[in-house]
Amino acid sequence: MTVSHEEIYARLTHAYGLPPNLSGRTPWELLIASVLSQSAAPKQVDDAIASLTQAAVLTPQSLEQLSDDDLTALIRPAGNSKSKSRKLKIIARFLIHEYDGSVEAMVATSQESLREKLLALKGIGPETADHILLHVAGKPTFPVSARIARVFKRHEWLEFDADYAMCQEFFSGALESDVERLVPYQVLLDRIAGDYCRTRPRCEQCPLRTLLPEQGPLEIEWA
Ligand code: SF4
C-alpha cells in the first residue's frame, strides 16, 4: 500500500467532517443497526429502526415474539427484509439464551470468544460479526463490506481477488486500532462507496481522486 490509513482517514474527515455520534442509540438499537446496515444506506437503517421503535419492539424478547411477516414488514425500509428479519430473530434468541437478553453482558465477552459465538450462528457471516464487534461492542476490528473493499481494490491497494480474510488483515492495526477513529473511518468509507465509488465510479468529484494510480481506477466487472 502506497498510502496510509491515516492519510485516507484525514482526507475523509476533511471532506465530510466526523459523522454524527450514534451514541444516542441504545445498545439493542445499535445491535439491530449492525444487522440492518448490510447493503443499506444510513437513512434506510434509521427508518427501519424508527418503525421498530414505533411498534414498541424495544427488547430482544419483544422482537423474538413478533411473527416473521410482521418483522419483515417493519424492517422493509432497510431492504432485503426477509433475510434480515431471519438474522434479527437469530440474534435475539442468541442474546436471550446466552446473555439473558442483555447486550451489555454480551459486549463484556472477549473479542475472540464473541466473534466465535457470532460466527457459529446460522446466517451470521464475518462482516456482520465484525460490524457488531466494532459498532456495538467497541472492539478494535474492521468490518469490510464488498463496497468498501471495492474502493481499495480500485486504487490497487488491495489485490482485486482478495477474500474477506485478506481484506480484514489489510485493516489490522489501522489507525493504531483506535476504536474512536475506526468507527468514523468505517462509516465514512461506506459513505464514499455510496456517494462516489459505485458500480460506475464518479472519480471526478470524489475526495480520494488524487490518490488514484496514474492509470486511473482498476477497471473490471464489479458486482
Ligand atoms: S477516486 Fe474513484 S476509485 Fe477512488 S474512491 Fe473515489 S470513486 Fe472510487
Cα(65) to ligand 1 centroid in Å equals: 44
Ligand 1 atom with minimal separation from the 217 CA: 3
pLDDT per residue as tens, the chain (223 positions): 578 999 999 999 999 999 877 667 889 999 999 999 888 888 899 999 999 999 999 899 999 999 999 999 999 999 999 999 999 999 999 999 999 999 999 999 999 999 999 999 998 999 999 999 999 999 999 999 999 999 999 999 999 999 999 999 999 999 999 999 999 999 999 999 999 999 999 999 999 999 999 998 988 765 5
**Angle at the Cα of 47 (from 45 to 52), degrees rounded to 5?**
95
What DSSP assignment string belongs to 158-181?
S-TT--HHHHHHHHTTGGGG-HHH
Cα(62) to ligand 1 centroid in Å equals: 42
Q: What is the pTM of this model?
A: 0.92
Q: CB of 151 closer than 6 A to ligand 1?
A: yes
CA pair distance 127, 144, nearest whole angstrom: 6
Cα(3) to ligand 1 centroid in Å equals: 14
Structural domains in the chain plus CATH codes: 5-19+142-211 (1.10.1670.10), 27-136 (1.10.340.30)
Assigned C-alpha cell, 133: 464487534
